[in-house]
Amino acid sequence: MRNIIQFYFAFLLLFNCGKLEPNPDDNHQDVKSGESTTQKANDFAIVIHGGAGTILKKNMTSEKEAEYKAKLEEAIRMGHTILKNGGSSLDAVEKTINIMEDSPLFNAGKGAVFTNAGTNELDASIMDGKTLNSGASAGTKTVKNPINLARRIMDDSPHVMMAGDGADSYAKEQGLEIVSPEYFFTEGRLKSLERAKDREKVELDHNDQKAAFYDADIKDSKYGTVGCVALDKHGNLAAGTSTGGMTNKRFGRVGDTPIIGAGTYANNATCAVSGTGWGEYFIRGTVAHDISAMMEYKGSTLEEASVEVIQKKLTNLGGTGGIIAVDKNGNMMMEFNTAGMYRATMNDKDELNIEIYSKKE
């Protein structure tokens, strides 16, 4: 009997010793906690977008394509430099978006589209993945860089969102750069409004081009919202988004961009997300937070969650657009269900990737 007992304990010891440590090469998922033990893909990383939509290479001149790519590179290198030097993901997101807000190429800041009343009403939001603190502004008309206002609301006020004249007043009190409404005027955006009115594009009727603006230079209806997500060397995630909204919008319409969880979300436990697309559907699907929630509660990878939310959930609702995202391990995603999305990535190896069109094209 003693020999049998000794053999039994020896067998248990041998069996357990072989199970003490998981294979380091395994992509192990702890289903209960949703935590991944996947090794870090990047110590720091940054992803940006400049809008999604019907962006076809056949309609893009080589000069215009080069112009977009140059501005995307300028923007992402700004944020990458901050991250490489040990700066925060929040600073990288804010400064990167500033570059795109100051360019008339995108529907944000200087390039904002016109409302039905012939004005420009801008929205923005930013979120800190470490604290889950966030800030947002909606419908501002005089703030040169709305993402700066969103950051100031997050950092220096007890609120998450400010809107309209109140948001403009707060920005002025805080010493942010204020401009005349005429600053946002561009001839191309005015023509887009005129074309929208000619086609009576006042209400949405399941035509995604009614939620976008038409760029005559590239025969393109696109969502020109800009966004940035970043992971810094300290393991902190951040996300930010800025937009001029919808061409020909009325009644103070606000889309998903300033709504935390819809167009912007960041959580150090999972990922950071920024969206671009038909805002009403991003709001209804709480798209940005849904990706994070799938990772946290279901144990999905960033790729699995992004594909599920954009290609299935959003698409089945009837929505169009895309997201950029980076997870806590530095994995990056750029997922969209439109013909194209202006986008770029950079990692800790200084590798730059800039794309415009769908890989299916």
Domain presence at residue 25: no
For residue 85, tell me if it sits in a domain.
yes
Is 19 within a domain?
no
Token pair belonging to 279: 């805002």
Average pLDDT over residues 66-79: 98
Q: Is residue 4 a part of any domain in this protein?
A: no
Examine the residue annotation and report whether 243 is marked as an active-site residue of this protein.
no
CB 276 within 8 A of CB 322: yes
CATH number of residue 318's parent domain: 3.60.20.30
Closest CA to 129 of 281, 244, 3, 268: 268
- Rounded CA gap, 284 and 331, in Å? 27
For residue 214, pLDDT beyond 60 = no
Residue 21 scores a pLDDT above 70: no
Q: Is 76's pLDDT higher than 70? A: yes
Kindly report the pTM of this predicted structure: 0.85
pLDDT value at residue 223: 59
* Both tokens assigned to 321: 């657009």
Q: Is residue 199 part of a domain?
A: yes
Q: Does residue 129 register a pLDDT over 90?
A: yes
Residue 17: which pLDDT band, with cuts at 50, 70 and 90? very low
Domain count, the chain: 1
7 falls within a domain: no
- Asked whether residue 307 is assigned to any structural domain, the reply reads yes
Residue with tokens 């947002």: 136
Query: Is the separation of the CB atoms in 314 and 282 below 8 Å?
Result: yes
Q: In this predicted model, what pLDDT tens digit does every residue of 169-206 receive, in sequence order?
A: 999 999 999 999 999 999 988 888 888 888 754 433 33
Does the pLDDT value for residue 351 go beyond 70? yes
Could you report the per-residue pLDDT of 309-336, keeping only the tens digit for each?
999 999 999 999 999 999 999 999 999 9
- Tell me which residue of 123, 154, 157, 120 sits closest to 138, measured CA to CA: 123
Which residue of the set 225, 247, 257, 301 is catalytic? 225
Owning domain of residue 349: 44-356
* Tens of pLDDT, residues 265-319: 999 999 999 999 999 999 999 999 999 999 999 999 999 999 999 999 999 999 9
User: 248 lies in a domain?
Assistant: yes
Q: What is the mean pLDDT of residues 152-175?
A: 98
Which residue carries 């561009």 as its tokens? 186
